[in-house]
Amino acid sequence: MHKLTVGVLRGGPSSEYEVSLQTGGSILEHLNRDRYQPVDLFVDRKGVWHASGFQKEPAQALHNMDVVINAMHGEFGEDGTVQRILDQVGVPYTGSGPLASAVAMNKVLTKRTLLPHGIKMAHHTTLTVSPKLEEDIVSLFRSFPQPSVIKPADRGSSVGVTIARNYHDFADGISKAFTYSPTVMIEEFIKGKEATCGVVDDFRGEEHYALLATEILPPESCGFYNYEAKYQSEDTRLVCPGNFTSSEKTAIQELAKKVHKTLSLRHYSRSDFIVSPRGIYFLEVNTLPGLTSHSLVPKALQAIGTKFSDFLDHLISLARGKK
C-alpha cells in the first residue's frame, strides 16, 4: 500500500513557538503509520526550515510532500505568511488560506468583518504608539468602560493579555501588549462563563459541523483562560458539553458556524465566547486551534467519540480535496 508523505509543520518565529512544538508532536504521535510516512518539518525561531533534522530552503523541505499538516500557531504560521509559501510551492495543506488566515489573526479586522452580521461583541477600541501616548492612555482610561481587557491585536493563545481593574493595571497592560504588537485592542470586560466551540468541515454529513460547546473553568490563580491556564496549569477544567442551557448550547454552535462561514475559513476552526446574562459575546477565532494534550478541540472530539487519529485522517482528506 502506498503511504502518503505527510509533512508536519511546526515551530516558527512566533510567540507561540512552544505550543506549536507540542501540537506538532501530538500530531506526529497520532498519525497512522500504516497509511502515512510522517516528516517533521521544523522551523526554528529565526525562521530557518529543517526537514527530518536537516536545514533546508522551504521549497526543498516541502519537496515530495503529498500534504502538509500545519501545526503552527501565531504570527508567521497562522497569519497567512506560511500559507502563501505553501501555495507558491503548490503543496496542499490543512487549515485556512492566506487571506482568511490574515483577517482572522487580526482581532480588529475580524470584528470589522463580523460586525455587519449581527454577532454580539464587546465594545472595543484600538491604540497605537504616538508622541502623546501617555495622554491617550489617561484619556482612554477615563472614557472607556472599566474593567477592561487589553490585548495585542494580532496574537493568539492569550499572549500579552491583561484584565485591568485600575489605572495602574490599565497602563501596565497597554505597555505589555505593545511589546507583542504595534496595535493594542482594548475591550469592555464582560463577566460570564468562558465557552468555546469547534467547527469541522464536511463532517458527519454536515457542511460545517459544530462540536459540542465546551465550558472553560480556569484556576482562580490565573483569573481567566490565559497562557498559563491553557498550556501549563493542571488545574484548568474543560467541561464538554459545558454547563449551559439547551438554548445557549445551540446558540454557541450556530454562532461558531456563522463565524467560520463569514470569515471564509476552511477545514476547521474554534471560536471563543463569553456567555453572560446580557447575551453571548464573540471574543475571537482560532484558524489553527491547539491540538496538544491540554487543548480544547481534542477534548471536544473525544466527547463525541471521534479518535484524534481519525480527525487527522479527515483533515488530510480535506486538504487533498478528497471530501
Task: Give pLDDT, residue 226.
Answer: 47
How crowded is residue 124: how many other Cβ atoms within 10 Å of its Cβ? Answer: 16
CATH 3.30.1490.20 fits 124-188, yes or no: yes
Q: What is the dihedral of CA 34, 67, 62, 17, to 10 degrees?
A: -90
50: helix, strand or coil: strand
DSSP 8-class letter at 121: B
In this prediction, residue 227 carries a pLDDT of: 53
Give how far Cα 31 sits from Cα of 27, 63, 77, 313, Å: 6, 20, 21, 8
- DSSP 8-state assignment for residue 190: -
Q: Quote the CA–CA distance of 52 and 42 in Å, as a whole number.
A: 8
End-to-end distance of the chain based on CA atoms, in angstroms? 21
Burial of 71 (0-12, 13-18, 19+ CB in 10 A): buried
Q: Which residues of the chain form CATH 3.40.50.20?
A: 4-93
CA angle 150, 151, 154 (to 5 degrees): 160
User: What is the model's pLDDT at position 221?
Assistant: 53
Which residues of the chain form CATH 3.30.470.20? 103-119+191-319
What is the pLDDT tens value at each position of the chain, 323 positions in all? 689 999 999 999 988 899 999 999 999 999 999 999 999 999 999 999 999 889 999 999 999 999 999 999 988 999 999 999 999 999 999 999 999 999 999 999 999 999 999 999 999 999 998 888 899 999 999 999 999 999 998 876 577 899 999 999 999 999 999 998 899 999 999 999 999 999 999 999 999 999 999 999 876 655 655 455 455 556 678 899 999 999 999 999 999 999 999 999 999 999 999 999 999 999 999 999 999 877 899 999 999 999 999 999 999 999 999 65
* pLDDT in the model for residue 222: 52
Domain 4-93 architecture:
3-Layer(aba) Sandwich (3.40)
Query: Which pLDDT value is given to residue 225?
Result: 56
Confidence (pLDDT) at 234: 61
pLDDT at position 129 is: 87
Residues annotated as catalytic are 16, 157, 231, 270, 272, 284, 286, 290
Q: Which CATH class is domain 103-119+191-319?
A: alpha beta
Residues of the chain with CATH 3.30.1490.20: 124-188
Q: What is the pLDDT of residue 155?
A: 74
